Amino acid sequence: MTIMFSIREMRIEDAEDAADVLRETMLHCWERYEKEYYPKQALEFDIAYNSAVLLRERFANPENFGFVAEEGSKIVATALGRVIGESGLANLGWIGVHPDYQRKGIGKALLQHVIEYCMAKRCHKIILYTLPVLVPAINLYLKCSFVPEAYMRKEWWKVDFIKMSLWLEKGNSTPK
């Protein structure tokens, strides 16, 4: 079944629905992939850090960006990140698709939107961090030309992470 969705910039009034999507996505991923790997305390921290209140506060910083994917008027996916000043570096902090909407191309379209946004902001590189157990996410990043740049041993909550990067300049890896 194909669903129709659109992607747009997140607005402050989207904070509650965006936080709900992130929470549902985090809980689903933890139950399905991370339960034996990522501490429950870390999951609870991540959910609290992405609450509607804190999402609204992020809008105060013009370096932060957020996008949502909608089916009709329902938010079904969220991407959050930051372009770090004029450094040319962007950090994709979170991308999450509600479990009911996964595997429908929404995550890839949302990630492509982030890439285009970062290119328009004259970024030369996008970085993100992911858990080695999140194989579907890693596969998505690889399909969008991100490459593993570093394996971070016991980085956050004493858990290993993978740093993945996409170079946006000519002559380097380019988005597909």
d(CA 149, CA 164): 5
- Does residue 170 lie in a domain region? no
Q: Nearest to residue 95, comparing CAs of 5, 8, 18, 6?
A: 18
- Does residue 172 lie in a domain region? no
pLDDT at 173: 47
pLDDT at 1: 59
Diameter over CA atoms, the chain: 42
pLDDT single digits (tens) 137-176: 999 999 999 999 999 999 999 999 999 999 998 655 444 4
d(CA 115, CA 83): 11
d(CA 175, CA 123): 13
Q: What is the mean pLDDT of residues 12-34?
A: 97
Q: What percent of the chain is predicted at pLDDT more than 90?
A: 92
d(CA 171, CA 168): 9
Q: Which pLDDT band holds residue 26 (cuts at 50, 70, 90)?
A: very high
The domain containing residue 111 runs over which residues? Answer: 6-128
- Does residue 141 lie in a domain region? no
pLDDT single digits (tens) 40-84: 999 999 999 999 999 999 988 999 999 999 999 999 999 999 999
HEC per residue, the chain: CCCCCEEEECCHHHHHHHHHHHHHHHHHHHHHHHCCCCCHHHHHHHHHHCCHHHHHHHCCCCCEEEEEEEECCEEEEEEEEEECCCCCEEEEEEEEECHHHCCCCHHHHHHHHHHHHHHHCCCCEEEEEECCCCHHHHHHHHHCCCEEEEEEEEEECCEEEEEEEEECCCCCCCCC
Give the CATH number of the domain where residue 84 resides: 3.40.630.30
pLDDT at 170: 65
- Does residue 155 lie in a domain region? no
Q: Into how many domains does the chain fold?
A: 1
